Structure 1
Amino acid sequence: MSGPKQPPERDAGRMPRVKVLTTGGTIASRPRGADVVASDGPDELLTAVDVDGVAVQAEEIVRVGSYGIGDEELRRIARSAVVAAGANDGVVVTHGTDTMEETAFLTDLVHAGGTPIVFTGAQRHAGEADRDGPRNLNDAVRLAAHPGMRTAGVTICMAGNAWPARFATKAHTLAADAFAAPSSGPVAICHGGDVRVVARPDRPAGFALSVLDAPLPRVDVVSAYAGADGTLVRAAIEAGARGIVVAALGAGNVPPSMAKEIRAAVEVGIATVVTSRTGAGPVVPRYGGAGGGADLVRSGAILGGTLRPAHARLVLALALATAGSQAGVADLVARHG
């Protein structure tokens, strides 16, 4: 697939069209008894939109808390967003924050066009007096309609900051400004109805949208910790994983007994990508000895660069679904790492 394409120029004098796709999450949630559940649909969410000069329509894709999103929902949301981008000047996806970074990144990986796709949500539910959903939604609509965001790809907009999907992550469980991009920085800043674009992400060529036509290969994430052995690596293989992402220590190291099982996994054809559990910075083959990053590379493991574990899982799954060889898988991971 080629790199991002320029979207067609909008007809002079025509109001920009932004499609809002709703998927549930806290932004759509209200109290039900002692719990909070996704309740509001597109009509309710649209009542909060107040952006002059933009034509906004909404459509519901699914209505769930994002902790309930699995492979089928991931693929459906990403596909719906990319298809909507082909018929509008911008797309907004309202989404729960728990797995927003995964759906946004998957969407970016299959979005070849230049139409902005903006994910947004809320940290406070729709029944709270100080709810943040309306502001985030209005910021996202302005961002999606802004000409400076053309070819910026997919972003996550929360609390006035727009983060590139390639690097964005949820960094706080409850704070309104819950997202960050430690290995990057914001793409744009929204304040008082204004949008200021401050960066343009480097977007490598991604994957064809058709890769989402079938369930993605199983890829499991296994975390390293002091004294970790290979039990979880073996469990992933026994569960049917075709790939494993290791959330390694530091710059890409694991305990020696875990390294032994990683080597064994690679030897039986399980693609294994090494990332870091630290949250920022690349993995590098610096340290030798059993379990060091250099040792893992010699065993055949693939370094994931600056990919976070959850992001690397998606890249590896797409690579396994499209590449014809282990070398091809490694090349695709390297392209996005």
Structure 2
Amino acid sequence: MDTNVTTPHVVLLATGGTIVSRNTPESGATLAADGGSDLLASAGLDPELAVRVVDVMRTGSYALSFADMLEICSSIREALADENAVGAVVTHGTDTMEESAYLADLLHNDERPVVFTGAQRPADHPDPDGPGNLKQAVAVAASAGARNQGALIVFNGRIFRAAGVRKIHTSDLQAFGDPDAGPAGRVSPAGEVELGTATRRLAPLPWAGPAASPAPRVDVIACHPGADGSLLAAALEAGSRGVVLQATGNGNANRSFVAVVGQAVAAGVPVIVSTRVQAGPVMAVYGGGGGKDLEAAGAISAGMLKPSQALALLQLLIWLGTPLARIAEVFAERGNLHQTN
């Protein structure tokens, strides 16, 4: 870690993921292995652009906890406490990048950009995509056009705002997409950035610091043909402080779910209704256990937030001690992604 950069620079926060992973001959498994300096050396950056490296952790993002994501957010704040930093890049595994980037966006209180990137191919692949993604992410983080845009994801030449982005393919190099809004911009292999004007952003949620105690349990429960409310009831029995329903269609379940949702809400446990559908909002339309009945039972609409990001928002709100009524207000404010990105 270089802490002596006194000129304008980008801070690279390395957290692990495929972008720094290599094959382990003993087990045949691919694991995070390289540090941030190794990754930076592979990117072939313009030597006139200074980059300061901070190794935050070295973990596959599938193994991250809410406390780990808060630690990443804390590292972003520390990096931007340096007035010489023009922006930050977070290298991160792709599996849960959409959660970490959205959490960072919810807490970001600085006009300087935070750019997440990663890779689909490991560092020891014959043709890794990580170095190119990092080069493009650094270019975006250093660009004037990225200011006041909050947290962004840069991947394979496309730029996405954090709210609404999803991993859309397990292995294709174009790993991320936003089925509702599409990309916010593009960046060329040479680092030429095209990014639209910043849209209206809501004020950041309060910063509570990194998790000093176990984070509240929040669960995602899937609705599907033949499912009933037993897994939701089991989550409550296990101590869940909040639940996201991965509902069908525009936010539907069945009568068994509705009954348990009512019990959860009566006990002060927020239930958020999202959908397994790639695009479009949750809408309370149908009876017979559908969205209209879930709403009547006290469930809260996720709007256009899909389960992964609804989970991140709900866990943060519960961590902050937010009352149930205010949780409903926040989801109403932030579920309309076209206004809050």
Structures share a fold, TM > 0.5?
yes
Q: 2:121 aligns with which of 113, 119, 124?
A: 124
CA shift at 1:72, angstroms?
2.0
What aligned pairs does 1:234-313 form with structure 2 within 5 A after superposition? 234-287=233-286, 289-313=287-311
C-alpha distance after superposition, 1:142-185 (max 9, x if no partner): 00000000000101111001111111110100000010011222
C-alpha distance after superposition, 1:27-81 (max 9, x if no partner): 0011111221111001211102333332111110000111111122111111111
Query: What is the DSSP-based 3-state SS (H/G/I as helix, E as strand, rest coil) of the residue aligned with 1:296?
Result: helix
CA distance in 2 between counterparts of 1:134 and 1:256 reads 50
CA shift at 1:324, angstroms?
4.8
| Contact 1:86–1:113 (CA under 8 A) maintained in structure 2 | no
What aligned pairs does 1:39-78 form with structure 2 within 5 A after superposition? 39-52=33-46, 53-78=48-73
Q: 2:21 aligns with which of 12, 16, 29?
A: 29
**Compared CA separation, residues 100 and 125, structure 1 to 2 (3 A):** same
CA distance in 2 between counterparts of 1:201 and 1:38 reads 36
CA distance in 2 between counterparts of 1:39 and 1:324 reads 39
CA distance in 2 between counterparts of 1:212 and 1:295 reads 38
Q: 2:155 aligns with which of 144, 158, 161?
A: 158
| Contact 2:67–2:210 (CA under 8 A) maintained in structure 1 | no
Query: What is the DSSP-based 3-state SS (H/G/I as helix, E as strand, rest coil) of the residue aligned with 1:64?
Result: coil
| Contact 1:79–1:209 (CA under 8 A) maintained in structure 2 | no
Higher mean displacement: 53-62 or 256-265: 256-265
CA shift at 1:114, angstroms?
1.0
Unaligned runs of 5+ in 2: 1-5, 336-341
| Contact 1:222–1:244 (CA under 8 A) maintained in structure 2 | yes
Query: What is the DSSP-based 3-state SS (H/G/I as helix, E as strand, rest coil) of the residue aligned with 1:206?
Result: coil
Higher mean displacement: 176-185 or 320-329: 320-329
| Contact 1:30–1:39 (CA under 8 A) maintained in structure 2 | yes
CA distance in 2 between counterparts of 1:334 and 1:232 reads 26
Matched, 1:321 2:319: yes
| Contact 2:208–2:320 (CA under 8 A) maintained in structure 1 | no
Amino acid at match of 2:328: A
**Compared CA separation, residues 199 and 187, structure 1 to 2 (3 A):** farther
**Compared CA separation, residues 199 and 157, structure 1 to 2 (3 A):** same
CA shift at 1:203, angstroms?
2.3
Amino acid at match of 1:303: S
Amino acid at match of 1:181: D
C-alpha distance after superposition, 1:222-270 (max 9, x if no partner): 1110121001101110111111110111101102212221122112211
Percent of matched pairs sharing the same residue = 41
Amino acid at match of 1:307: L
CA distance in 2 between counterparts of 1:78 and 1:189 reads 25
TM-score with structure 2 setting the length? 0.91
Amino acid at match of 1:77: I
What aligned pairs does 1:99-110 form with structure 2 within 5 A after superposition? 99-110=96-107
Amino acid at match of 1:264: Q
Query: What is the DSSP-based 3-state SS (H/G/I as helix, E as strand, rest coil) of the residue aligned with 1:45?
Result: helix
What aligned pairs does 1:79-228 form with structure 2 within 5 A after superposition? 79-87=74-82, 88-193=85-190, 194-210=192-208, 212-214=210-212, 215-228=214-227
Amino acid at match of 2:99: E
CA distance in 2 between counterparts of 1:275 and 1:139 reads 33
What RMSD in Å do the two structures reach over aligned CA positions?
1.6
Amino acid at match of 2:143: H
Amino acid at match of 2:60: G
CA shift at 1:212, angstroms?
4.0
Amino acid at match of 1:82: R
Amino acid at match of 1:18: V
Amino acid at match of 2:44: D
CA distance in 1 between counterparts of 2:323 and 2:225 reads 33
2:339 is matched with none
Amino acid at match of 1:174: S
| Contact 1:319–1:333 (CA under 8 A) maintained in structure 2 | no
Q: 2:12 aligns with which of 20, 41, 45?
A: 20
C-alpha distance after superposition, 1:276-320 (max 9, x if no partner): 111211101122x23121111111111110011111112112222
